[in-house]
Amino acid sequence: MEQIWPECQKNKRVCPQPQNWQKLYELLPNKKRQGNEWEPPLPLILAAWWETPVISKTMRFREHIEWAEAHGCLEQIAEYLKSLSEDEWYHIDDKLHL
């Protein structure tokens, strides 16, 4: 986590763009449904993308990175994130788009 999180925040990054965030989520192991919720929680995309403040997106994205670390797939997630181009990330200064 200590190695990957600074990379996730460089250039004012908030989280991957929605399609890329969904792909990251699909890579996470051991996801499970708890009633109407998922563990870990779903990425804040689709309708949530428009309604969610930047800080909440950052926190949810960090939860996904922490989940990857706790479930032994941080290296795979790190490789995926490193493969993203800069325009595949959402930045603090970006306008919202899908």
Summarised one tens digit per residue, pLDDT across range 47-66 is 999 999 999 999 999 999 99
Query: Among 50, 64, 59, which residue's Cα sits nearest to residue 22?
Result: 64
Q: What's the chain's average pLDDT?
A: 94
Is residue 96 one of the residues assigned to a domain? no
Total number of domains in the chain: 1
Residue 13 belongs to some domain of the structure: yes
Residues of the domain holding 75 = 5-91
Whether residue 98 is contained in a domain is answered as no
Q: Is residue 85 part of a domain?
A: yes
Whole-model pTM?
0.93
pLDDT given for residue 98 in this prediction: 47
* Residue 47 is assigned to a structural domain of this protein: yes
Q: Between 18-27 and 74-83, two packed helices, what is the crossing angle to 10 degrees?
A: 160
Beta-strand runs (E) in 17-88: 32-34, 37-39
